[in-house]
Chains A and B, each alone.
Chain A
Amino acid sequence: MGRVTSTVPTRAPADAARRQRYLYGLSQPTREGVVAAAVALGALGVMYMWWHDTSPASVYGPGPWLTAAGRVTGLLGTYLVVIEVLLMGRAPWLDRMIGMDRLAVWHRRNGEYLICLLVAHALLIIWGYAVTTHDGLLSETKSVVLSYPDMLAATVGLGLLVLVGVLSARAVRKRVNYHTWYFVHLYTYIALALSFAHQFNTGADFATHPLNRVIWGAMYGTVAALLIFYRVVTPLLNMARHRFVVVGTASEGPGLTSVYVSGRELGKLGADAGQFFLWRFLTRDGWWQAHPFSLSAAPNGRWFRMTVKALGDHSSGLATLRPGTKVLLEGPFGNFTTRWRRGRKLLMIGAGVGITPLRAMFEEAATASGDVTLLYRASNSDELGLRAELDEIAQRRGAKVHYLVGPRDEHPEYLTPNHLQRLVRDVVQRDVYVCGPPGFTATVNSSLRALRVPRRHVHTELFEL
């Protein structure tokens, strides 16, 4: 048999049959449930490993009880660290299942939980040993950290993880600049490496259990391989293949800049309107940071466009990008696409930067089916970025755009169920795509619920760090 060369299929207009086949047409909550169940199943496997290796005789009295609790939290915590890394590993199949935006939320919550588990692991083990030996906590800590094999390294590893966790806590994260946060986050890998040896050399479930070592090693190895493949190999291969390069920048109104990136065979990346890329511009100062930005125009096979509001140092520097600057693109990511629509008619509701993916989807959907309505909320008309383009698309394709302009306190009625119903009479029959700041999204979602729009018809992209 000759090898079949697989190519990424170019996106035909979404037809019902293909949508049905796509992941069996499972809804977002169901898909999230499937992934959560898989993670939970793994955790059960880890618990079984402990259960199987621990003889009831060894869990006796307060000391061994504490130590056993320490072992369980340690096993579970390390398992979740591996899951944590995988969640942000840019695996396209995970992205398709639950979407990068949800993955980021999961990553944050799982991170908080696993750090607590690992701290509990260390404390419980030491406490358990101290109770068993009738020794003081301090001297027991000293003994455990200094005299057990690889424990010093593991202690440093835990310290690094806690540091990463503290810097990522929302209250702290806002005050730390991106550089610091980013580089400290990389310490996670160092922490993982430092703490690996103590698991095998002092861990009761590994030290004398070759099979467990094989399973655990395979888990680490698989995730490491996936990480290298998706985070390093794939972007580099794509760059070599597509030769992404900046072809121009354009001002789209006050504070709004578009960057156009071209390359070879862009259609083969299989990007959909509504998706985003991680853009890494290879300039002298900016090459080390990649930022997520949605495509602000439907992919056309010739160029990609992103549109940014000048906020931080990075986004305001984009206006000065020179044509010819090489770009490393990671993606496309996100499942905020019309692929997941259940019916034919669409309603899009956006505000702020949330308009960029909707702008791309609006263009794509208007071209394909025509029955699209867009509601665009802004506090004043200066903030209606990309308005001219939206008007043009609407005019040419017969789609509708409503601008809901004015300060929130003067127009509290804009996003109420009644008002939405009046603007879009058949809102209940439509697939609704919502994208904007968290407060806005929450308001719109509650109005949609009040209007009894089926949950499966509501698609939201979460903007949360």
Chain B
Amino acid sequence: MRRAVIATAGTVVGLVLLLGYRSEGAVKVDKVDAGAGTGSTNPGTNTTLGPGTNTGTNTGSSTATTVPTAASSSSDRTYTGQDVSYRYGDIEVAVTVDGSRIVTVSVPQDDAFSPYSQTVNSAAVPILVREAVAAQGLNFDVVSGATYTSDAFAQSLQSALDKASQ
């Protein structure tokens, strides 16, 4: 009995310490200033990947997230990438380019099959979109906790950019 109490207490204390040291609170995504100084603030720039973000509006299917970075002009063209399936759903990314500049990135298709994945995506996708615009391509980080979504997002974006460069 004494051994059970010690084992339980030790495990709980160990877990709390371990997690306590590893967590640093919310991740701050720095303001992405990719636009050409239009001064427009992007919606939800300081996004935290955590519970509660966007849960009210997101139903998990076909969320369109668009980040305009400049006033659209007549020379803009939109290309839709492949619908990429990944382990927890599928995602489709579209890109609007003006010449070689990425103007907006949007996600016409974002289906995640479990409520948990939907919640994760609803927080991660806006971050990915902003990062892609800011990086003007694929050179951005994976969003932690949403590795699969990030990979699939990058793949679909790649195929959209491929179409654009043809």
Contact = CB atoms under 8 A, between A and B. Distances in A.
Contacts of B25: 60
B114 A72 contact: no
B5 interface: no
5 contacts: A59-B23, A64-B145, A65-B19, A73-B11, A208-B147
Interface in B133-166: 144-145, 147-148, 151
Interface in A126-173: 129, 131-135, 139-140, 143-144, 147-149
Given A62-B51, A132-B119, A133-B119, A149 B87 contact: yes
Interface of B: 3-4, 7-8, 11, 15, 18-19, 22-27, 48-52, 55, 87, 113-116, 118-120, 144-145, 147-148, 151
Interface in A106-123: 109, 112-113, 116-117
B27 A208 contact: no
B24 A57 contact: yes
Contacts of A148: 114
Given A58-B144, A109-B3, 20 more contacts: A55-B27, A56-B22, A58-B49, A59-B22, A64-B23, A65-B19, A65-B23, A69-B19, A73-B11, A73-B15, A132-B116, A133-B115, A133-B118, A134-B55, A135-B115, A144-B114, A149-B87, A201-B87, A202-B87, A208-B151
Interface of A: 47, 51, 54-65, 68-69, 72-73, 109, 112-113, 116-117, 129, 131-135, 139-140, 143-144, 147-149, 201-202, 204, 207-208
Nearest to B113: A147
B7 A113 contact: yes
A116 B52 CA distance: 31
A129 B145 CA distance: 12
B15, B48, B49 interface centre (most CB from chain A within 10 Å): B15
Closest 6 CB pairs between A and B? A57-B27, A59-B23, A55-B144, A58-B145, A56-B24, A133-B115
Contacts of A116: 7-8
A116 B7 CA distance: 10
Contacts of A129: 115-116
Contacts of B15: 69, 72-73
A132 B8 CA distance: 26
Given A131-B51, A149-B87, A207-B87, A57 B145 contact: yes
A129 to B, nearest CB: 4
Contacts, number: 97
B144 A57 contact: yes
B64 to A, nearest CB: 21
Contacts of A135: 115
B18 A47 contact: yes
Contacts of A72: 15, 18-19
Which of B4, B8, B19 has the most chain A CB atoms inside 10 A of its CB?
B19
A133 B116 contact: yes
A277 B8 CA distance: 36
Nearest to A120: B11
Nearest to A209: B147
Contacts of B24: 56-57, 59
A382 to B, nearest CB: 38
A204 B11 CA distance: 21
Contacts of B22: 51, 54, 56, 59, 68
A139 B116 CA distance: 11
A64 B87 CA distance: 20
Among A57, A63, A116, residue most surrounded by chain B Cβ atoms (within 10 Å): A57
Given A69-B15, A140-B115, A61 B148 contact: no
B19 A208 contact: no
